[in-house]
Amino acid sequence: MLKRILLAAVASAFLAGPALASSCPRHMKTVDDKLATNPTLSAAQMSEVKKYRAEGETQHKAGKHKESLDALAKAEGILGIKM
């Protein structure tokens, strides 16, 4: 009985995880695609975008998906991408 509850808890954690985890790479791609179009940005904005983009990837790899999405959202905001 206890084992079944534990299994259910583990299963739901796995179900919740990937949905969130998979959205980081999607946002990274959105940022990359926008950068590929040579957007009109000041040098300062460009370095900010690159900083947040790199931060997003680092946090994602560290399993911190919330922090990753926050950083990527900032990059998208500077790029004028509507979420």
Total residues binding Cu ion (CB under 5 A): 5
Q: What is the DSSP string of 18-81?
A: HHHHTHHHHHHHHHHHHHHT-----HHHHHHHHHHHHHHHHHHHTT-HHHHHHHHHHHHHHHT-
- Candidates 8, 16, 21, 62; binder of Cu ion (CB under 5 A) is 21
- Candidates 31, 49, 60, 76; binder of Cu ion (CB under 5 A) is 60
Q: How far is the CB of 56 from Cu ion (least distance, A)?
A: 8
Q: How far is the CB of 31 from Cu ion (least distance, A)?
A: 14
Please give the residues from 28 up to 57 whose contact with Cu ion meets the rule CB under 5 A: none
**Which residues are at the interface with Cu ion (CB under 5 A)?**
21, 24, 60, 65, 68
